[in-house]
Amino acid sequence: MSKRPKKHTTVINDRQVITLGHEYEFWADLYHRAMTASIWRFLLGALALFVANNIIFAILFSLDPNAISNVESPRLIYLFFFSIENFTTVGFGDMHPQNIYGHIVASSEGFAALLQTAALTGLIFAKFSQPRARIRFAANPVISKHEGKQTLMIRAANSRQNFLSDATAELWILRLEPNKEGQSFRRFHPMALVRHQNPTFVLSWTLFHTIEEGSPLYGLTLQDIQKQEVQLILTIKGVDANSSQELRARKNYGVADIVWNSKYTDILSPSKDGGVVLDYHKFDMTEEV
Protein backbone atom coordinates (compact mmCIF):
# COMPACT_ATOMS: atom_id res chain seq x y z
CA MET A 1 0.00 0.00 0.00
CA SER A 2 1.49 3.32 -1.09
CA LYS A 3 2.05 5.96 1.54
CA ARG A 4 2.70 9.64 1.17
CA PRO A 5 5.72 11.30 2.75
CA LYS A 6 5.56 12.04 6.45
CA LYS A 7 5.17 15.75 5.66
CA HIS A 8 1.59 16.53 4.65
CA THR A 9 0.06 19.94 3.90
CA THR A 10 -3.63 20.72 4.08
CA VAL A 11 -5.88 23.75 4.56
CA ILE A 12 -8.13 23.99 7.63
CA ASN A 13 -10.27 27.06 8.26
CA ASP A 14 -8.44 28.94 5.48
CA ARG A 15 -5.08 28.31 7.18
CA GLN A 16 -2.30 26.11 5.87
CA VAL A 17 -1.51 23.27 8.25
CA ILE A 18 1.67 21.20 7.80
CA THR A 19 1.58 17.80 9.51
CA LEU A 20 4.88 16.12 10.35
CA GLY A 21 5.47 12.51 11.40
CA HIS A 22 2.01 11.24 10.45
CA GLU A 23 1.88 8.56 7.77
CA TYR A 24 -0.97 9.46 5.44
CA GLU A 25 -2.44 6.43 3.64
CA PHE A 26 -4.32 7.40 0.49
CA TRP A 27 -6.10 4.08 -0.08
CA ALA A 28 -7.13 3.64 3.56
CA ASP A 29 -9.65 6.50 3.31
CA LEU A 30 -10.67 6.23 -0.32
CA TYR A 31 -14.42 6.42 0.35
CA HIS A 32 -14.07 9.71 2.25
CA ARG A 33 -11.90 11.17 -0.50
CA ALA A 34 -14.44 10.15 -3.15
CA MET A 35 -17.31 11.68 -1.17
CA THR A 36 -15.50 14.98 -0.53
CA ALA A 37 -14.01 15.39 -4.03
CA SER A 38 -15.59 17.83 -6.45
CA ILE A 39 -17.92 16.31 -9.02
CA TRP A 40 -15.38 16.86 -11.83
CA ARG A 41 -12.56 15.20 -9.91
CA PHE A 42 -14.86 12.33 -9.05
CA LEU A 43 -15.88 11.81 -12.69
CA LEU A 44 -12.29 12.11 -13.93
CA GLY A 45 -11.19 9.58 -11.31
CA ALA A 46 -13.94 7.16 -12.38
CA LEU A 47 -12.94 7.60 -16.04
CA ALA A 48 -9.26 7.02 -15.22
CA LEU A 49 -10.16 3.84 -13.32
CA PHE A 50 -12.30 2.63 -16.23
CA VAL A 51 -9.53 3.24 -18.79
CA ALA A 52 -6.82 1.70 -16.58
CA ASN A 53 -8.93 -1.39 -15.96
CA ASN A 54 -9.49 -1.98 -19.70
CA ILE A 55 -5.83 -1.38 -20.53
CA ILE A 56 -4.81 -4.04 -17.99
CA PHE A 57 -7.24 -6.61 -19.40
CA ALA A 58 -6.26 -5.74 -22.98
CA ILE A 59 -2.67 -6.56 -22.05
CA LEU A 60 -3.80 -9.84 -20.46
CA PHE A 61 -5.74 -10.77 -23.60
CA SER A 62 -2.68 -9.98 -25.74
CA LEU A 63 -0.53 -12.53 -23.89
CA ASP A 64 -2.18 -15.29 -25.93
CA PRO A 65 -2.44 -14.45 -29.68
CA ASN A 66 -5.30 -16.96 -30.05
CA ALA A 67 -7.34 -15.87 -27.02
CA ILE A 68 -9.70 -13.62 -29.00
CA SER A 69 -10.96 -14.20 -32.52
CA ASN A 70 -11.17 -11.68 -35.37
CA VAL A 71 -8.68 -9.24 -33.86
CA GLU A 72 -7.35 -6.82 -36.45
CA SER A 73 -4.16 -4.82 -36.34
CA PRO A 74 -3.08 -2.97 -34.23
CA ARG A 75 -3.98 -5.80 -31.89
CA LEU A 76 -3.65 -3.97 -28.54
CA ILE A 77 -6.04 -1.21 -29.64
CA TYR A 78 -8.70 -3.67 -30.75
CA LEU A 79 -8.20 -5.77 -27.63
CA PHE A 80 -8.73 -2.59 -25.61
CA PHE A 81 -12.04 -2.01 -27.40
CA PHE A 82 -12.98 -5.65 -26.90
CA SER A 83 -12.24 -5.27 -23.20
CA ILE A 84 -14.61 -2.29 -23.05
CA GLU A 85 -17.33 -4.29 -24.83
CA ASN A 86 -16.83 -7.17 -22.39
CA PHE A 87 -16.61 -4.85 -19.37
CA THR A 88 -19.85 -3.07 -20.25
CA THR A 89 -21.56 -6.33 -21.36
CA VAL A 90 -22.30 -4.79 -24.79
CA GLY A 91 -20.81 -7.74 -26.72
CA PHE A 92 -21.14 -6.81 -30.40
CA GLY A 93 -20.08 -10.31 -31.38
CA ASP A 94 -17.31 -9.56 -33.92
CA MET A 95 -14.63 -10.49 -31.39
CA HIS A 96 -15.08 -13.22 -28.78
CA PRO A 97 -12.98 -15.58 -26.66
CA GLN A 98 -12.04 -18.74 -28.53
CA ASN A 99 -9.93 -20.74 -26.06
CA ILE A 100 -9.76 -21.52 -22.35
CA TYR A 101 -7.32 -18.70 -21.58
CA GLY A 102 -9.53 -16.14 -23.33
CA HIS A 103 -12.61 -17.30 -21.43
CA ILE A 104 -10.75 -17.19 -18.10
CA VAL A 105 -9.58 -13.60 -18.66
CA ALA A 106 -13.02 -12.54 -19.93
CA SER A 107 -14.70 -14.13 -16.90
CA SER A 108 -12.23 -12.42 -14.56
CA GLU A 109 -12.96 -9.09 -16.21
CA GLY A 110 -16.70 -9.70 -15.84
CA PHE A 111 -16.24 -10.24 -12.10
CA ALA A 112 -14.08 -7.10 -11.81
CA ALA A 113 -16.67 -5.13 -13.79
CA LEU A 114 -19.41 -6.34 -11.47
CA LEU A 115 -17.52 -5.12 -8.38
CA GLN A 116 -16.48 -1.79 -9.93
CA THR A 117 -19.97 -1.05 -11.24
CA ALA A 118 -21.53 -1.81 -7.86
CA ALA A 119 -18.98 0.37 -6.04
CA LEU A 120 -19.36 3.31 -8.43
CA THR A 121 -23.15 3.04 -8.39
CA GLY A 122 -23.14 3.22 -4.59
CA LEU A 123 -20.71 6.15 -4.56
CA ILE A 124 -22.64 8.10 -7.19
CA PHE A 125 -25.93 7.57 -5.36
CA ALA A 126 -24.40 8.57 -2.01
CA LYS A 127 -22.67 11.61 -3.53
CA PHE A 128 -25.71 12.99 -5.32
CA SER A 129 -28.22 12.13 -2.60
CA GLN A 130 -26.33 13.59 0.38
CA PRO A 131 -28.08 16.72 1.68
CA ARG A 132 -26.42 20.03 0.88
CA ALA A 133 -27.46 23.38 2.28
CA ARG A 134 -27.39 26.38 -0.04
CA ILE A 135 -26.90 28.99 2.66
CA ARG A 136 -25.02 32.13 1.74
CA PHE A 137 -23.04 33.98 4.39
CA ALA A 138 -21.97 37.60 4.24
CA ALA A 139 -18.32 38.12 3.42
CA ASN A 140 -17.73 40.12 6.63
CA PRO A 141 -19.17 40.26 10.13
CA VAL A 142 -19.85 43.80 11.28
CA ILE A 143 -19.70 45.45 14.70
CA SER A 144 -21.73 48.56 15.53
CA LYS A 145 -24.52 49.81 17.77
CA HIS A 146 -27.80 47.92 17.66
CA GLU A 147 -30.65 48.68 20.05
CA GLY A 148 -28.24 50.98 21.86
CA LYS A 149 -25.66 48.23 22.52
CA GLN A 150 -22.41 47.28 20.80
CA THR A 151 -23.32 44.24 18.69
CA LEU A 152 -21.64 41.74 16.42
CA MET A 153 -23.82 41.00 13.37
CA ILE A 154 -23.58 38.30 10.70
CA ARG A 155 -25.98 38.05 7.77
CA ALA A 156 -27.05 34.80 6.11
CA ALA A 157 -29.51 33.93 3.33
CA ASN A 158 -31.21 30.79 2.08
CA SER A 159 -30.21 30.74 -1.59
CA ARG A 160 -32.80 28.10 -2.47
CA GLN A 161 -35.56 30.32 -1.04
CA ASN A 162 -37.46 27.26 0.12
CA PHE A 163 -38.64 26.61 3.65
CA LEU A 164 -35.83 25.56 5.99
CA SER A 165 -37.84 24.57 9.05
CA ASP A 166 -36.66 24.71 12.66
CA ALA A 167 -33.44 26.46 11.69
CA THR A 168 -30.97 27.02 14.53
CA ALA A 169 -27.71 28.95 14.57
CA GLU A 170 -24.68 28.57 16.81
CA LEU A 171 -21.80 31.02 17.02
CA TRP A 172 -18.44 30.10 18.55
CA ILE A 173 -15.22 31.98 19.12
CA LEU A 174 -11.84 30.27 18.86
CA ARG A 175 -8.90 32.10 20.39
CA LEU A 176 -5.51 31.68 22.01
CA GLU A 177 -5.58 31.72 25.79
CA PRO A 178 -2.67 31.31 28.20
CA ASN A 179 -2.94 28.97 31.18
CA LYS A 180 -1.42 29.56 34.61
CA GLU A 181 1.88 28.10 33.42
CA GLY A 182 2.07 30.54 30.52
CA GLN A 183 1.31 28.01 27.80
CA SER A 184 -1.04 29.05 25.00
CA PHE A 185 -4.01 26.88 24.06
CA ARG A 186 -6.75 27.32 21.48
CA ARG A 187 -10.10 27.25 23.22
CA PHE A 188 -13.70 27.42 22.03
CA HIS A 189 -16.31 29.59 23.71
CA PRO A 190 -20.00 29.82 22.77
CA MET A 191 -21.35 33.25 21.86
CA ALA A 192 -24.97 33.83 22.80
CA LEU A 193 -27.20 35.01 19.96
CA VAL A 194 -30.20 37.29 20.49
CA ARG A 195 -32.33 34.92 18.38
CA HIS A 196 -30.71 31.61 17.57
CA GLN A 197 -33.85 29.96 16.17
CA ASN A 198 -35.82 30.63 13.01
CA PRO A 199 -39.00 28.58 12.45
CA THR A 200 -39.06 29.23 8.69
CA PHE A 201 -35.74 30.37 7.25
CA VAL A 202 -36.68 31.37 3.69
CA LEU A 203 -34.98 34.63 2.71
CA SER A 204 -32.38 36.42 4.83
CA TRP A 205 -31.46 36.14 8.51
CA THR A 206 -29.24 38.54 10.44
CA LEU A 207 -27.75 37.09 13.62
CA PHE A 208 -26.95 39.38 16.56
CA HIS A 209 -24.49 38.84 19.40
CA THR A 210 -24.60 41.59 22.03
CA ILE A 211 -21.12 42.52 23.26
CA GLU A 212 -21.86 43.00 26.93
CA GLU A 213 -20.54 41.64 30.20
CA GLY A 214 -20.23 37.88 29.80
CA SER A 215 -19.47 38.09 26.09
CA PRO A 216 -16.06 36.70 25.01
CA LEU A 217 -15.53 39.98 23.12
CA TYR A 218 -16.44 42.24 26.03
CA GLY A 219 -13.76 44.82 26.77
CA LEU A 220 -11.46 43.68 23.96
CA THR A 221 -9.84 46.07 21.51
CA LEU A 222 -8.86 45.29 17.94
CA GLN A 223 -5.28 44.75 19.12
CA ASP A 224 -6.50 42.27 21.73
CA ILE A 225 -8.39 40.06 19.29
CA GLN A 226 -5.48 40.21 16.82
CA LYS A 227 -3.13 39.02 19.54
CA GLN A 228 -5.52 36.20 20.44
CA GLU A 229 -5.86 35.19 16.76
CA VAL A 230 -9.63 35.21 17.13
CA GLN A 231 -11.74 33.18 14.73
CA LEU A 232 -15.54 33.14 14.55
CA ILE A 233 -17.32 29.91 13.58
CA LEU A 234 -20.98 30.10 12.61
CA THR A 235 -23.08 27.01 11.95
CA ILE A 236 -26.69 26.90 10.77
CA LYS A 237 -28.78 23.77 10.55
CA GLY A 238 -32.39 23.07 9.72
CA VAL A 239 -34.78 20.64 8.06
CA ASP A 240 -35.53 20.97 4.35
CA ALA A 241 -39.31 21.10 4.05
CA ASN A 242 -39.24 19.32 0.67
CA SER A 243 -36.92 16.39 1.40
CA SER A 244 -37.27 16.27 5.22
CA GLN A 245 -33.46 16.02 5.42
CA GLU A 246 -31.37 17.90 7.93
CA LEU A 247 -29.08 20.44 6.29
CA ARG A 248 -25.99 22.05 7.79
CA ALA A 249 -23.76 24.91 6.73
CA ARG A 250 -20.69 26.47 8.34
CA LYS A 251 -18.74 29.69 7.86
CA ASN A 252 -15.43 30.71 9.44
CA TYR A 253 -14.27 34.29 9.87
CA GLY A 254 -10.87 35.62 10.88
CA VAL A 255 -9.90 38.87 12.59
CA ALA A 256 -9.27 40.61 9.26
CA ASP A 257 -12.82 39.82 8.12
CA ILE A 258 -14.52 41.82 10.88
CA VAL A 259 -15.64 45.32 9.83
CA TRP A 260 -15.89 47.75 12.73
CA ASN A 261 -18.38 50.60 13.13
CA SER A 262 -20.45 49.46 10.16
CA LYS A 263 -23.84 47.96 9.38
CA TYR A 264 -25.17 45.89 6.52
CA THR A 265 -26.80 47.56 3.54
CA ASP A 266 -30.50 46.69 3.44
CA ILE A 267 -31.24 44.06 0.79
CA LEU A 268 -35.02 43.80 1.25
CA SER A 269 -37.40 46.29 -0.29
CA PRO A 270 -41.07 46.23 -1.36
CA SER A 271 -41.87 45.68 -5.02
CA LYS A 272 -44.44 47.64 -7.04
CA ASP A 273 -46.93 44.77 -6.97
CA GLY A 274 -46.78 44.43 -3.20
CA GLY A 275 -44.17 41.68 -3.06
CA VAL A 276 -40.62 41.69 -1.73
CA VAL A 277 -37.39 42.38 -3.64
CA LEU A 278 -34.27 40.59 -2.36
CA ASP A 279 -31.21 42.24 -3.90
CA TYR A 280 -28.21 39.89 -3.65
CA HIS A 281 -26.01 42.52 -5.30
CA LYS A 282 -26.00 44.30 -1.93
CA PHE A 283 -25.65 41.16 0.19
CA ASP A 284 -22.00 41.74 1.13
CA MET A 285 -22.18 45.53 1.20
CA THR A 286 -21.66 47.42 4.44
CA GLU A 287 -22.20 51.04 5.41
CA GLU A 288 -20.08 53.00 7.86
CA VAL A 289 -21.98 54.16 10.94
Beta bridge partners of residue 25, listed in sequence order: 3
Q: Is residue 18 part of a domain?
A: no
What's the alpha-carbon Rg for the chain, to the nearest Å? 28
Give the pLDDT of residue 12: 59
173 and 218 belong to one structural domain: yes
Point out the domain boundary residue: 129, 164, 181: 129
**How many CB atoms neighbour CB 81 within 10 A?**
15
56 and 198 belong to one structural domain: no
Q: Is residue 27 part of a domain?
A: no
170 and 54 belong to one structural domain: no
Give the pLDDT of residue 14: 60
Collapse the DSSP code of 277 into the 3-class scheme (helix H, G, I; strand E, B; otherwise coil) and give the result: strand
Q: How many domains does the chain fold into?
A: 2
70 and 147 belong to one structural domain: no
Nearest to 262 by CA among 160, 143, 164, 158: 143
57 and 113 belong to one structural domain: yes
Q: What are phi and psi of 196, to 5 degrees?
A: -100, 0
**How many CB atoms neighbour CB 54 within 10 A?**
22
Give the pLDDT of residue 1: 47
Q: Is residue 14 part of a domain?
A: no
Nearest to 131 by CA among 240, 235, 33: 240
186 and 266 belong to one structural domain: yes
171 and 278 belong to one structural domain: yes
Assess contact for 61 and 68: CB atoms under 8 A. yes
Which CATH number goes with the domain that contains 251? 2.60.40.1400
119 and 182 belong to one structural domain: no
Q: Is residue 86 part of a domain?
A: yes
64 and 184 belong to one structural domain: no
Beta bridge partners of residue 32, listed in sequence order: none
- Tell me the pLDDT of the chain (289 aa) as tens digits: 455 556 666 665 566 667 666 666 666 677 788 888 888 999 999 999 999 999 999 999 999 999 999 888 889 999 999 999 999 988 888 898 999 999 999 999 999 999 999 999 998 888 887 777 889 999 999 999 998 899 999 999 998 878 888 999 999 999 888 887 778 888 899 999 999 999 888 888 999 999 999 899 998 888 888 888 899 999 999 998 878 888 899 999 998 899 999 999 998 888 888 788 888 899 999 999 8
Structural domain boundaries enclosing 56: 37-129
Q: Is residue 98 part of a domain?
A: yes
Point out the domain boundary residue: 102, 129, 156: 129
Nearest to 191 by CA among 174, 215, 175, 218: 215
Give the pLDDT of residue 236: 95
273 and 195 belong to one structural domain: yes
Q: Is residue 178 part of a domain?
A: yes
Q: Is residue 223 part of a domain?
A: yes
Give the pLDDT of residue 35: 82
**How many CB atoms neighbour CB 9 within 10 A?**
8
140 and 217 belong to one structural domain: yes
67 and 140 belong to one structural domain: no
Q: Is residue 25 part of a domain?
A: no
Give the pLDDT of residue 264: 94
Which CATH number goes with the domain that contains 47? 1.10.287.70
